[in-house]
Structure 1
C-alpha cells in the first residue's frame, strides 16, 4: 500500500460523504460476506441488502450489518450498484449463470466475487450483460465476527480484473483496509492451491501432532507445541527451505526409522493410518527438497527413502552417517 493511503475510519470526515459511494448487495451473508460487507459499510458505502435463510446468517447480519434487510438473491442484485458474491467456489458459476438467465445483471453494475480459485472468467454471464467483473480474494480465514474487521488491516487480497477496471478492484481492497496483490487470471488456481496447501494442511499437521503428544501422555499438547511451531513458521516464512531442521534434513536414518515404527504402532492402536501416511509423504518431500538444495547428498537421500518405503520398518538403528548440522527437533 502506498504511504498516506487513508484507512477506513481515518480522520477526514464522514466516510459516507466521500465521492463514489455505492449501494452494496451481499450474496450471501456467510462469514466472509458479512465481514466484507461491514468493511465496505465502514468505508461509507451503503449496504442495501443481504441474502441468507439460515438462523446463523440472520444472527450474523444483525451483529455485523444491523438494519440491513434480508432479501432474496434477485432482489439483492436488483437493488445493488455493487454486488458482492461471497459464496462457495463451486456454487459461484451456477449462481452467476442463474442470475443471468433471469436477466438480473445490470449494465455498469460492479460484480465482485471472493472465490480464491476463480478469476473473472466465471463472471462472463454477468459481463455479457454489461456488468463490470472483479475478483477479490482475502488471504485470511474468517470467524464471521467483528474481530475479523481488525484482521483485514494489511491483509493481502488477490485482485484479478480487466485492465481498465483493475484500479477499481484495488481501490475497494484499500477501502476495506487490505493490501491488493494482482494475480493473473491463469494463475488463480496456483495461487489458491498455495494458500490452501499452506493454511489448511498446517491445521491438519498441528492436529496430528497434538494427537500424538496426547497419546504420549502430554497433558497440554497445544502449549507444548506452541514455541516450536511459532519458531518453525517464522523461520519458514523468512527463509523457506533454509529453515529445514530435524532428522530428515540431517539424514538421521535411525531416528526416522524409530519415528516410523512409533507412528505405525499409533495407527494400530487407533485404527487410522492418516498420521503415518502424512508423515511419510512429507518426509519424502523434505528429503527431495534437501537434496535439491544441497543440504543432503544423493546417498543420504537414498537411505532415507529406503526407510520410508512400505511397509513401515520396526524401530532400530539405521545405517549411514548423519547429514550436516545438528539442528534441534
Structure 2
C-alpha cells in the first residue's frame, strides 16, 4: 500500500496483502500478526524480497508518474481538468489490466499504427519534450509485451519497435530533424 503521509493512511490497512518473510519456527506468529492487523499474509522468500519490492514500485510509483505526466500533457493541450478526463480511462485500464494482463492492451502500439505513433512523437517533441523519453520507453515496453502476447503480428510490432528505437536514438543523440 502507498502511504503518502495523509491522516487517512491508516484507514487503508485492513484487507491488505502483507509480504511476510520469517524463519519457519516463527511462521505462525508472523501470520497471526498480519491477521490481527486485518491483513492477508503473502509469503515471500528472503531471496525474492527485492524483486517483490521492485514489482510494487513498477505498479505504484510508476503508475503515479505516468498519470501525472498524462495530466501534464492534457494541461498542455488546454484541458482545464485533466483528472476528470483521465480518471475514467485510467481506472478502467487498471481494472482491465488486473483482470486480463497484457490482453487489456489497446492503442496505437498494439494496432501497430505507425502514423499515430509518429504524430504523438511530433506533438510531444514540440509541446512537452520532457515527456517524450518516457513515452518512447513505455511504448517500447508495450510493443514488446504486445509481441510476446501475440496481440498483433510479429512483423507489425517489429516495425513499431524499429520506429521507437530510432526515435529513442535520435532523442539521445540530439539529432532530431
TM-score by length of 2: 0.90
What's 1:228 paired with? 89
What's 1:200 paired with? 61
| Counterpart pick for 1:279 among 130, 135, 138 | 135
Change (3 A) 1:166 1:295: same
1:183 maps onto 2:39 in alignment: no
**d(CA) in 1 for partners of 2:128 and 2:4?**
33
Conservation of the 8 A alpha-carbon contact between 2:125 and 2:132: yes
Moved >2 Å (runs of 4+): 143-150, 310-314
What's 2:125 paired with? 264
Unaligned runs of 5+ in 2: none
RMSD of the TM alignment (CA)?
Answer: 1.6
Is the radius of gyration larger for structure 1 or structure 2? 1
Shift of 1:146: 5.2
**d(CA) in 1 for partners of 2:98 and 2:126?**
33
What do the CA deviations read for 1:4-35 (whole angstroms, capped 9, x no partner)? xxxxxxxxxxxxxxxxxxxxxxxxxxxxxxxx
Conservation of the 8 A alpha-carbon contact between 2:76 and 2:128: no
1:159 maps onto 2:20 in alignment: yes
Change (3 A) 1:278 1:290: same
> SS in structure 2 opposite 1:180?
strand
What's 2:31 paired with? 170
Change (3 A) 1:255 1:267: same
Q: Which has the higher strand share?
A: 1
Conservation of the 8 A alpha-carbon contact between 2:140 and 2:161: yes
Shift of 1:143: 4.3
Paired residues in the alignment total 170
Shift of 1:150: 2.6
What's 2:160 paired with? 304
> SS in structure 1 opposite 2:60?
helix
Shift of 1:173: 0.9
**d(CA) in 2 for partners of 1:286 and 1:188?**
26
